[in-house]
């Protein structure tokens, strides 16, 4: 197994989302690796947890990354969150990401969970993707 591609994968996912004009229309520059302290926008995208499993084989080191991207909004109802989540999903599914280290074999949708957070109006959708990488 190799975890060596994790940082390169995260950077490529962030760059892909940050460069997406449809996403920029919906959330502006509110795409975070770490949500900043202080006042945050009503709707934002955040790179979230990651689980990784070994997928090395006879040809070399590899891994399967389960990458979570979250959409969070204070807008009433789930419509805004779902609109943003759809753009995130469209941007990442089967994306041909160029990594600074290693190679992305595929990026596929795995699952999504939509829920209310706390007692307020905050909505959150966690979208999980499967990314198979090889370390070269």
Three-class SS of 110-133:
EEEEEEECCCCCCEEEEEEEEEEE
DSSP 74: -
Strands 31-32 and 43-54, how do they pair? parallel
Strands 123-134 and 103-116, how do they pair? antiparallel
pTM score, whole prediction = 0.93
pLDDT of residue 3: 87
pLDDT of residue 31: 97
Please count the other Cβ atoms lying within 10 Å of the Cβ belonging to residue 112. Answer: 17
DSSP 8: H
Which CATH architecture describes the domain 6-62+72-134?
2-Layer Sandwich (3.30)
pLDDT of residue 1: 65
Reading across the β-sheet that carries 62-73, which strands appear in turn? 31-32, 43-54, 62-73, 123-134, 103-116
Structure token pair of residue 85: 């989540």
Task: Give counts: helices (H), strands (E), the chain.
Answer: 3, 5
Walk along the chain (136 residues) and give the pLDDT tens digit of each residue.
678 899 999 999 999 999 999 999 999 999 999 888 999 999 999 999 999 998 888 777 889 999 999 999 999 889 999 999 999 999 999 999 999 999 999 999 999 999 999 877 899 999 999 999 999 7
């Amino acid at each position: 197994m190799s975890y060596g591609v994790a940082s390169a994968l995260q950077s490529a996912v962030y760059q892909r989302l940050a460069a997406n004009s449809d996403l920029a229309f919906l959330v502006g520059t509110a795409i975070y690796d770490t949500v900043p302290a202080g006042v945050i926008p009503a709707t934002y995208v955040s790179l979230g947890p990651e689980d990784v499993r070994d997928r090395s084989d006879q040809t070399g080191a590899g891994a399967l990354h389960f990458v979570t991207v979250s959409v969070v909004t204070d807008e009433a109802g789930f419509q805004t969150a779902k609109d943003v989540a759809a753009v995130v999903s469209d941007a990442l599914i089967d994306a041909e990401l160029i990594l600074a280290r290693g190679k992305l074999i595929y990026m596929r949708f795995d699952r999504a969970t939509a829920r209310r957070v706390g007692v307020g109006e905050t909505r959150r959708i966690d979208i999980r993707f499967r990314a198979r990488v090889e370390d070269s």
